[in-house]
Amino acid sequence: MVVAAYDDYLRARGLLDASGTSYEQLQEAVRLLKAALAADPAFVDGWALLCRARATRWRGSGSSNDRQAEAAAVAQEARAALERARALAPESAATLKAAGFLQQTVEQDPVNALRSLDRAVAAAPNDAETLFFQASLLFSLGRSTQPSRPWSGLTRSTTRTASSPSASP
């Protein structure tokens, strides 16, 4: 791994993880990711995060006629980044998470998004962000009363502990 690429990736991820990411922050994250990928074209997590950044930008493109061309170009960039990640590591958790995010946001295909996210959770069962995406999708599908498998044990143990009279802080 190229250290400079990983540094740019982490800085981009920090921008994307911030609550209420602005357009300028999103553009800076994309710039950082492109720099990281120029330094290390085999950086799977970088391609996956670029896919998610472009899908996030697509979501913010709006639906007005004058922005449709921009939205189409951004969606194509997201798909191209995902295809690059798939070519490098089709079953990596990062690739599968990016696929699920793109399928949910850009393609508006919750069924395949959930399939991708289920596979991502199987590949990385403790990845909080993947679990969050999966739970959010389940909630949007009206399945919030059925927690995803990785969270179901946590939900049960938290409920038991909180209701137990002998529970200590």
Domain ranges of the chain: 3-140
Q: What is the pLDDT of residue 161?
A: 39
Q: Note the pTM of the prediction, 2 decimals.
A: 0.82
Q: pLDDT category, 18, cuts 50, 70, 90?
A: confident
Token pair, residue 160, equals 């038991």
Residue partners of 11: CB distance under 8 A and separation at least 6: 29, 32
Task: Look at the domain 3-140 and name its fold.
Answer: 1.25.40
Mean pLDDT of 66-77: 86
Q: What is the pLDDT of residue 145?
A: 56
pLDDT of residue 148 exceeding 80: no
Q: What is the pLDDT of residue 70?
A: 84
- Centre a 10 Å sphere on the Cβ of residue 89 and count the other Cβ atoms it contains: 16
